Amino acid sequence: MLIDFSSLKKLAEGKTKIIYENPEDEKTVFMVFKDDITAGDGVKHDIIKGKALVDWRTNRDIFELLNRKGARTHYVSSPQEKVVLVKKLDRKINLEVVSRRIAAGSILKWGNEVEGTRFDPVITQFHYKDDPLHDPMLADTYIDYIVRAKGGSEYAEMRRMNAEIFLHLERVFAHFDIQLVDMKLEYGIIEGKVYLIDEITGGSFRLWPYAHKTPNLNQPNVLKELDPEGRLDKDTYRMGEKIDKVLTKFEEIAKVTAKFRDL
């Protein structure tokens, strides 16, 4: 039987999802994907019919993989199309945690980083989640200060979890000749512990196919080993591709993540 959301209390609505109460269990909530896509911190916005369903499939396959691996995530199940059952947050952490293997996107604007530069180990950065401020990056010195002032292990834990999840997903995408370039995740506190929350979909990462079958990824710059033009991720939308094309790319991601179930 389908869940009737019209009778359920809406707890929150963001750019891509709506959160509803679960009247049968106060420890979980329903997360429902929307067809909306945004970029530039919500400045660019479109509706792509069918995107919610594709995102739901990608999200399901990735979170089920992570749960099988033993990662601490809010994901419980995907009871019907576009709907995810997740553990309810006790406290949201208003940060986006970004891990990067290869320099691309916003990092190119900050310094002298050249596109395709390979980071080993991966670098992890915290961004304060605030659209009007364009999610500013927090300097490590500032984070060190907060940690000294307030104590606690949340930052250390998010940094460790983000890098671990990155390395795992990087290995898995590599099976399909795709490089995970970078990735953005969100965390929250559930029963006193740091949990991975939110979604992992085509908007959460950059994915570049290998340029050829046996790329040499062990060099300072790997741009020539990869095929950024063949990108599968939300950059297609950021760069102004037609929304049909964007949906096709997101479907390609879902086709790959569907194979994660056999791993």
Ligand X SMILES: Nc1ncnc2c1ncn2[C@@H]1O[C@H](COP(=O)(O)OP(=O)(O)O)[C@@H](O)[C@H]1O
Integer Cα distance of 82 and 256 in angstroms: 18
Question: Is the Cβ of residue 29 or residue 95 nearer to ligand X in the bound state?
Answer: 29
Instruction: Tell which residue, 263, 239, 235, 233, has the closest CA to residue 251.
Output: 233
Question: Is the Cβ of residue 15 or residue 171 nearer to ligand X in the bound state?
Answer: 15
Q: How far is the CB of 223 from ligand X (least distance, A)?
A: 30
Retrieve residue 65's tokens.
């993989």
Instruction: Tell which residue, 231, 133, 104, has the closest CA to residue 178.
Output: 231
Instruction: Tell which residue, 60, 108, 106, has the closest CA to residue 84.
Output: 60
Question: Is the Cβ of residue 88 or residue 168 nearer to ligand X in the bound state?
Answer: 88
175 contact partners, CB below 8 Å, separation of at least 6: 263
Question: Is the Cβ of residue 93 or residue 222 nearer to ligand X in the bound state?
Answer: 93
The H or E element containing residue 125 is strand 118-128
Q: How far is the CB of 144 from ligand X (least distance, A)?
A: 26
The residues binding ligand X (CB under 6 A) are: 12, 14-17, 19, 29, 31, 74, 86-89, 92, 197-198
Q: How far is the CB of 152 from ligand X (least distance, A)?
A: 20
Q: How far is CA 126 from CA 61, 73, 100, 181, in A?
A: 26, 19, 12, 17
258, 61 contact by CB (below 8 A)? yes
Q: How far is the CB of 33 from ligand X (least distance, A)?
A: 9
Q: How far is CA 59 from CA 38, 103, 107, 203, in A?
A: 17, 24, 25, 11
Question: Is the Cβ of residue 29 or residue 247 nearer to ligand X in the bound state?
Answer: 29
Residue carrying the six token digits 């102004």: 240
| Closest CB to ligand X: residue number | 14
Q: How far is the CB of 100 from ligand X (least distance, A)?
A: 20
Q: How far is the CB of 234 from ligand X (least distance, A)?
A: 13
